[in-house]
Every structure is written in C-alpha cells, then in structure tokens.
Amino acid sequence: MATHIKVHGYHIDVFQHVNNARYLEFYEADRWDWMNELDFINWALKNKIAMAAVNINVNYFQGAVLGDELTVVTRMEKFGVKSALCYQQVIRNNNGQSEVVSDAYVTFVFIDTVLNKAIAIDDELRERLESFVSNNKDFIEV
C-alpha cells in the first residue's frame, strides 16, 4: 500500500518548498488510505474504537518542491499494551531514482469512544493491526 502525491502550489510555502506541516498531512493521507484498504475504519466504528496519534517524530532530509512526485509508505513497527508505533516515509521519485525526503514515527493509542478512555490492545485489535505490517519493498534504508 502506498499513497502517491504530486506536489502542487498549495503545498508550497514562501521558501518554494513543501511546508513542514504539510508532511503531517501526507503521512495522515497514507494512514487513511491504508485503513480504508484494510476496512479498519468500519471495523473500528462498529466496535466503538478510535485511533488517536499521541506522538509524532518527523525527520526532514530534503525539501520537496513544486512538481515532485512523492510516494508515502507506512508500516507498523511495534505494539505495546495500549499503544502502537508505525513508521512512515515520504519518497521522491525522480528519473528512476528514489530518495527519502522525510520519515516519521507515529505513536497511537486506541480509545473506547463510549467511555472516552484509552483501551488495551486485545487479541482482536492486535490481529487487525498486524495486517498493517508491511513487507513493502518501497521502503528505503536511511
């Protein structure tokens, strides 16, 4: 699973590169695509569970500019008792060359939407999350 993004003018800031806040939107777009692809959203709504990002650590290696073709990839890295960690990359695809523009680690908790409290990751939720573990060959070692 990967999300493809072409950099448009509304992604660019006064310094003529993608504003750092836009990368958070790129990462979130891929997570939504990913959850939709695996029908996680419908399952979570049915089970009254919400997924909330509680920590995001982003590295910026290079600036993306107008016209760049980007690919965003995501994989689950680690599961805790109440949280999960995913790893994401934004990759620029330029003339057959691929290079990491940015990467991020995102920590999530899962919330019972009725009680509005974090819940433990039970076997069923863990099984759903494990389907997000990717062997995606698009990831680049950084």
* Catalytic residue list: 13
CA distance 113 to 123: 19
- The owner of tokens 């759903």 is 128
The amino acid sitting at 1 is M
Q: Is 54 exposed, middle or buried (0-12, 13-18, 19+ CB in 10 A)?
A: exposed
CA distance 120 to 126: 10
Distances in Å between the Cα of 8 and the Cα atoms of 11, 13, 37 are 6, 11, 25
CA distance 97 to 101: 12
- DSSP 8-state class, residue 45: H
Residue 21: phi and psi, rounded to 5, are -65, -30
